Amino acid sequence: MAVIFGKGNLLGMATALELKALVKQFPTARVVDGISLDIPKGCFYSLLGPSGCGKTTILRMIAGFSEPDEGDIILNGRRLNGLRPYERPVTTVFQSYALFPHLTAYENVAFGLRRRGETNFDKKVRDSLAMVGLAEKAERFPANLSGGEKQRTALARALVLEPELLLLDEPLSALDPALRKRVRLELKQIQQRIGITFVFISHDQEEALSLSDRIAVMNKGKIEQIGTPREIYLQPATRFVAGFLGAVNWIGPVGVRPEWTRIGRTAPGDVDSVAATVETAVFLGDSVHVHAKTADGSVITAQVHDSAVDYEHGEQVRLWWDKSDELRVSQ
């Protein structure tokens, strides 16, 4: 059962992209199984889900690389179905960046403007490269750009056309973790500055949570939940959403995230607590993950934000949490 939070538009803005009962059937599976979405104008919207959940197929249908078997794709009131990719006012930042290796960063950015028959594009190209901090590297070929620079060139190339919608296909996944966090921040800042609607595809929950105004969590071709990052993290509608967005300890139907799970050798007198035996305590620098087994054999993890905390294997502990922190999911 999908539960939709915050129905209607974010900040009362008009709808940019509307997907209506989209279906895509592959020989072996229905990869997109009746997806309906309203994406508000100027929104940073993420489609989040594991690989094979259908998110990339949706992106390809919006871009025009693939046609839906059923349903409509409507962008700012105009039906896009049947239009060729080059006829759609939509651009894409590809996972592999897909920069033209025979063209310089400058010419990559100018590519779309040249196709439009524009001749006075020098300022646009330079401004676009400057926006992503690559003004100095305009004459470099992709082979001589770092991963982050390639990613930013791809972004500049897609944005210079001032699309009605920008699609981003896991654009950060090819970057190393440290760079990914920095680029993530830049991406968010650029989106806020230019106000173009972004549709971002990701399987990384941290990435989606940190970037998005709104997230649609997908699983097996369907939407599990739509909401703001806080909504889907703090009030997951389904067990799948709860588990996909972060670790969860399941105590029967009730879920508690490790960071809200308290642990101690004794519990405060006035709270309900669970007895458990410590399996292992994993030191992570800024926190310690304590895995403890309860009487019924389930393992509960408590994340303790105190580097000094340590437990021995076999130690008897109590686990407890605030009732208000419990995740109540439909299934």
For residues 215 and 208, what is the distance between their CA atoms, to the nearest angstrom?
7
Q: Which is nearer to other proteins, 31 or 161 (CB)?
A: 161
Binding segment for other proteins (CB under 8 A), chosen from 6-14, 57-65, 178-186, 254-262, is: 57-65
What is the token pair recorded at 4? Answer: 């939709």
What gap in Å lies between CA 56 and CA 31, rounded to an integer? Answer: 10
Candidates 4-12, 35-43, 88-96, 223-231: pick the segment binding other proteins (CB under 8 A).
Answer: 88-96
**Which span (3-11, 19-27, 59-67, 186-194) binds other proteins, by CB under 8 A?**
59-67
Q: How far apart are CA 183 and CA 168, in angstroms?
A: 13
CA distance 253 to 42: 38
Q: Which amino acid is at 190?
A: I
Tokens 């996972």 correspond to: 95
**Shortest separation between residue 58's beta carbon and other proteins, angstroms:** 15
- With CB under 8 A as the contact rule, which of the stretches 27-35, 92-100, 188-196, 259-267 interacts with other proteins? 92-100
Q: Is 85 in the site for other proteins (CB under 8 A)?
A: yes
Within 8 A by CB and 6+ apart from 28, the residues are none
Binding mask 108-147 for other proteins (x = CB under 8 A): ---xx--xx-------------------------------
**Residue 273 tokens, joined:** 């607590």
> Does residue 157 bind other proteins (CB under 8 A)?
yes
Return phi, psi of residue 63, to 5°. -75, -25
Q: Is 92 in the site for other proteins (CB under 8 A)?
A: yes
Residues 253 to 292: which contact other proteins by CB under 8 A? none
Closest CB 94 distance from other proteins, rounded Å: 5
Site for other proteins contains 55 (CB under 8 A): no
The residue range among 107-115, 209-217, 251-259, 318-326 that interacts with other proteins, by the rule CB under 8 A, is 107-115
Q: Which of 84, 265, 305, 323 binds other proteins (CB under 8 A)?
A: 84
Q: How far is the CB of 268 from other proteins (least distance, A)?
A: 57
How many chain residues interact with other proteins (CB under 8 A)? 23
**91 in contact with other proteins (CB under 8 A):** yes
Cβ partners under 8 Å of residue 226, min gap 6: 2, 4, 5, 6, 37, 214, 215, 216, 217, 232
Site for other proteins contains 158 (CB under 8 A): yes
Q: Which of 17, 47, 59, 90 binds other proteins (CB under 8 A)?
A: 90
- What whole-number distance in Å separates Cα of residue 36 and Cα of residue 74? 11
| Assigned token pair, 313 | 């294997």
Identify the three-state secondary structure at position 272: coil
Among 112, 101, 328, 310, which residue's Cα sits nearest to residue 236?
328
Residue 320: name the closest of 258, 274, 254 by CA: 274
Please give the angle made by the CA atoms of 132, 173 and 133, to the nearest 5 degrees. Answer: 10
CB nearer other proteins, residue 124 or residue 181: 124
Please choose, out of 80-88, 191-199, 203-211, 230-238, the segment that lies near other proteins by the rule CB under 8 A.
80-88
Tokens of residue 103, six digits: 């063209």
Q: Which residues bind other proteins (CB under 8 A)?
A: 63-65, 84-86, 90-92, 94, 96, 98-102, 111-112, 115-116, 157-158, 161
